[in-house]
Every structure is written in structure tokens, then in C-alpha cells.
């Protein structure tokens, strides 16, 4: 750090601020109707070269990601996380954050820390996306029994199935509100209601909602009192959720043990580095140190996956 030229430091700060400004101005721009659709005659006059270049880059990224289908960053996974923008926008955001992390790492710790942050930032963004998917799925699971009760109540009040779904969407919060509203909108433009329900069950990976979908499909084929059928399905779902809660309570000790075992090496390394900086210097400045860190990361990843399989209950 002492050998760095002031020009390198200034250039790094300028590039970091430029990346942040680009991310804030372009990636987080409001999702509104394009000016070309509202005022076609004024669109060309108000569109800057930077905006056109960015839009072309985002369109190219979206086409490339769409041609690849499902992957680490696909439209389907963003839908599961409740994110509304296209994958290309998040690719640009990830590139900007990675660049900022690399510059800050270079200024704070040299090329070694910059390389580590360059590798860890995309991984951290993917992990954060997975956390969003998990949180949204968990909240959706908690909302299914109440939404089913509202749906049965709407049918009992004399509403049609689509109107009952619309009423349940208005009474719920996200993500149930978003999913049911999407079902209503897709049905209104011509998609089959059963297909829309099955798509929600697949997108949220919820077995309870899949049971509701099957019950609705059977009712559409053979007829009967759908409200009563949904009441029975709701009772089954509540009993299953009660058993799930008991299983989670019994497996809480195993989950806590797994968290401690995963965090212990990292905490120990940070503590030893804090009290003896020469200890971490061996790992961050020598080839054997880099190899040991790589082996430790691989072993922690394998061990974490193994522990997650051991403490994950299946129903």
C-alpha cells in the first residue's frame, strides 16, 4: 500500500464512483412506460447516447440469457425471488458491484485481496438471490392456508372461481397477492385457469398449492361442491404444517450445530488475524497459503452441503 502512486489511488476512486453512478442511474431506474410509447415524436430528442448504449447492452444480455434457457440467473429464478427486472439488468449490476469490490480490494489489500473479492462478489450475489428465493417461498408457504380459506369463503358467498381468486388476491399480501393476481391476469387474456394454477405451484415449489390445483382440476371435470372440497384440503394442509413445525423444532439442534461447525473456521481465522497479523500474511501472500485457502473453501462447501442434507427433513 505504501508503494502505490497517488495517481493510482485517484484513478481507482474515480472508477469506483463511476461504476456506482452507472449502477444507480441505469440499473435502478424506475420501471415506467417508455417515452417512445407515450410521446414518439419526443423520444429521440430526450434519449442520450449513454442510455441507448446501455439499452442495447441490456437487450443483448437478455437475448443471450434467454437463448441459454434456465441457469444460475434466468427469468424463472428472478420470478421465484419476486424480482421484476430482466436478467440483463442484474448482470450489469453484478458487473458493477464486482468492479467496485475489485477496486476497493486493490486499494485496501493489493492484487491478492482484489482477486479474492472479484471471485467472491458474484458468488455472494448468487447466494443472496437464493436467499431471496427461499424467503419468498417460505412466506408463500405460510400464506397458503389463509388464502385457501378466503377462496373457499368466496365460493360459499356465491362468487365464481375466478372472482374468488381475485378477491383472495386483494385480501392477501405479497407474494400470495402477486401470484394470485398473475393467475387472474393470465386467465383474462386467454390462458387456462388450471394451467395458471399449476404454473404457480411449480414456480413456488409448494406441494400444498399443487394439492389445491389438483382439487380444482378434478372439480372442473366431475363437478361438486368445490368449497367443501377446499375445506377438506385446508384441514389436511394445516395438519401437515403442524407436523412440519414439530419436525423443525426437533431438528433445530442439528441446524444450530451445522451453523457453528461452518462458522468456526472462519471466526477462528479472523480472530487469529486480528491478534497476530503475521498469521494471515502467510495465507494471503504465498502460493501454499492460497492453495490451503482453496482447499479449506472446498472442504467447507462439501461439508456444508453434507450437513444440509442430514438436517433437512422430508415429508
Cell numbers for 204, please give them: 413456488
Domains, the chain, in order of start with CATH, read 6-109 (no CATH), 136-250 (1.20.81.30), 252-311 (no CATH)
Burial class (CB in 10 A: 0-12, 13-18, 19+), 255: middle
**From CA 179, how far away is CA 174, in angstroms rounded?**
8
Distances (CA, A) of 292 to 120, 271, 296: 17, 18, 6
Burial code (b: 16+ CB inside 10 Å, e: under 16) for 142-178 equals ebbbebbebbbbbbeeeeebeebbbbbbeebeebbbb
Question: Which residue matches cell numbers 444440509?
Answer: 308
Burial class (CB in 10 A: 0-12, 13-18, 19+), 237: buried
Residues 114, 87, 309, 263, CA torsion sign: positive
Cell numbers for 124, please give them: 455472494
Return per-residue pLDDT of the chain as tens, 315 residues.
445 555 566 666 666 666 666 665 555 555 454 545 555 454 444 555 556 555 665 566 556 555 555 556 677 777 887 777 777 777 778 888 888 888 888 887 778 778 888 888 888 888 888 888 889 988 888 888 888 888 888 888 888 888 888 888 888 888 888 888 988 998 888 888 888 888 888 888 888 888 888 888 888 888 778 888 888 888 888 888 888 888 878 777 777 888 888 888 888 887 877 787 777 777 777 788 788 888 888 888 888 788 777 766 665
**From CA 201, how far away is CA 144, in angstroms rounded?**
11
Quickly list H helices, the chain.
6-22, 35-38, 40-46, 49-68, 75-81, 87-109, 111-156, 161-171, 176-188, 193-204, 207-222, 226-250, 252-275, 277-285, 287-311
Neighbours of 196 (CB within 10 A): 20
Distances (CA, A) of 131 to 43, 55, 124, 138: 39, 29, 10, 10
pLDDT in tens, 84-132: 777 777 777 888 888 888 888 888 777 877 888 888 888 888 888 888 8
CA 197 to chain centroid, in Å, comes to: 21
Amino acid at each position: 500500500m505504501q508503494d502505490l502512486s497517488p495517481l493510482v489511488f485517484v484513478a481507482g476512486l474515480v472508477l469506483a464512483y463511476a461504476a456506482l453512478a452507472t449502477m444507480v442511474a441505469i440499473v435502478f431506474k424506475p420501471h415506467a412506460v417508455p417515452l417512445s410509447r407515450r410521446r414518439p415524436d419526443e423520444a429521440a430528442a430526450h434519449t442520450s447516447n449513454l442510455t441507448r448504449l446501455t439499452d442495447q447492452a441490456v437487450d443483448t444480455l437478455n437475448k443471450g440469457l434467454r437463448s441459454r434457457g434456465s441457469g444460475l440467473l434466468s427469468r424463472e429464478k428472478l420470478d421465484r425471488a419476486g424480482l421484476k427486472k430482466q436478467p440483463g439488468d442484474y448482470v450489469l449490476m453484478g458487473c458493477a458491484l464486482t468492479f467496485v469490490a475489485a477496486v476497493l480490494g486493490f486499494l485496501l489489500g493489493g492484487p491478492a485481496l482484489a482477486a479474492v473479492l472479484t471471485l467472491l462478489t458474484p458468488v455472494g450475489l448468487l447466494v443472496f438471490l437464493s436467499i431471496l428465493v427461499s424467503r419468498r417461498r417460505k412466506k408463500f408457504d405460510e400464506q397458503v392456508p389463509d388464502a385457501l380459506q378466503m377462496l373457499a369463503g368466496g365460493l360459499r358467498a356465491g362468487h365464481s372461481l375466478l372472482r374468488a381468486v381475485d378477491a383472495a388476491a386483494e385480501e392477501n399480501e405479497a407474494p400470495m397477492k402477486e401470484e394470485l393476481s398473475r393467475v387472474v391476469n393470465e386467465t383474462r387474456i386467454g390462458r387456462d385457469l388450471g394451467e395458471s394454477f399449476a404454473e404457480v405451484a411449480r414456480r413456488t415449489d409448494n406441494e400444498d398449492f399443487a394439492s389445491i390445483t389438483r382439487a380444482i382440476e378434478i372439480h372442473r371435470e366431475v363437478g361438486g361442491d368445490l368449497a367443501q372440497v377446499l375445506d377438506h384440503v385446508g384441514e389436511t394442509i394445516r395438519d401437515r404444517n403442524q407436523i412440519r413445525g414439530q419436525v423443525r423444532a426437533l431438528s433445530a439442534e442439528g441446524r444450530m450445530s451445522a451453523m457453528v461447525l461452518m462458522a468456526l473456521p472462519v471466526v477462528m481465522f479472523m480472530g487469529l488475524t486480528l491478534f497476530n497479523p503475521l498469521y494471515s500474511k502467510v495465507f494471503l501472500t504465498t502460493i501454499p497459503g492460497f492453495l490451503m485457502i482453496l482447499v479449506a473453501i472446498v472442504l467447507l462447501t462439501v461439508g456444508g452441503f453434507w450437513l444440509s442434507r442430514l438436517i433437512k427433513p422430508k415429508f
